[in-house]
Amino acid sequence: MEINLFRLCSGLKIIGYFMILLVAAIISVSYYAIVVVTWGPELLRGGVHSFLAFFIIVMFHILLVMLLWSYFMVVFKDPGSVPENWKPLIEEENLEAGSSLTLSENIEPEAFTSTQSSDGRERRPQVGYCSRCQNGKPPRCHHCSVCQRCVLKMDHHCVWVVNCVGARNYKFFLLFLLYTFLETTMDTLVLLPNFIHFFSEATDHSESPGNLAVIFLTFVLNLAFALSLLCFVVMHASLLSSNTTTVEVHEKRGAIRWKYDLGRKKNFEQVFGTKKALWLLPLFSKEDLDNVPALRGLEFPTLSDTEA
């Protein structure tokens, strides 16, 4: 019997829904352990303990709100798909009127290639053709076997969010990683004293076994997530600084100079926009959406453009 591998890939969506429930469960356990069991009661003690508890609970809720806001934006925001019957624009250098011509309908899919000048530098981004979608592929676009479509500037399909990470939600994904790392790190630190006294409290029966088990479980989970997320944060920070996606890492290895690397500042603005006030919020300004082509996912400036 022939096995359809792409159908098996589509089954990852079902696993993703369980991941969402797992995220909700971890957040609930952490909330109970920190706010209800450990630091909430400290508010009633007065003095320094109350001030510290108030600060910790406020920071916990701020990071939690930002984490959930970013998470739901990644889950529900379309990463960007190729418009139906999309074809690239060919800019005619000899037209002074500023008009442009599109590829004609009878051009074969193989013609969706880049053109180069005599010095070998690319004049316009390379485009391709997807035989599964029967449509053109803009630069940096890849077909997702799970979503069964081409995704603009696809980074990867994330099981944790049941969605692809692409041009239009990559910022939200990075913020989700950042705020989750900060939240789990803070949770680990504020539960560390309780974890250290875990065994003595268990021996003295000074707290209920249920609360001790919750504190122990919460500390271990948050520590594990904080360490693993640190690796992802560092990795994606490196990719962001060089304007590279996860699926482009192999392609970049064969290039002397990565054509999309325009410098850290411009690379950052292609993902987070130019409005500094919104950099830490899972939002884009209308001005950035209108003026930064990379946020739309169909056009990306290259080194040849900036050097021209």
Strands (E), 52-134: 89-90, 101-102, 128-130
Here the contacts of 8-12 (C-beta below 8 Å, separation 24 or greater) are 9/145, 9/146, 10/145, 10/146, 10/148, 12/146, 12/157, 12/159
As a whole number of angstroms, the distance between CA 143 and CA 304 comes to 26
Please tell me the distance from the alpha carbon of residue 37 to that of residue 190, in angstroms, as a whole number.
12
Contact 285, 296 (CB under 8 A): no
Please give the positions annotated as active site. 158
Under a CB-based contact definition with an 8 Å cutoff, are residues 29 and 174 in contact? no
Q: What percentage of the chain's residues is helix, strand, coil (to nearest 5)?
A: 55, 10, 35
DSSP 219-288: HHHHHHHHHHHHHHHHHHHHHHHTT--GGGHHHHHT-SS-TT---HHHHHHHHH-S-GGGTTTT---HHH
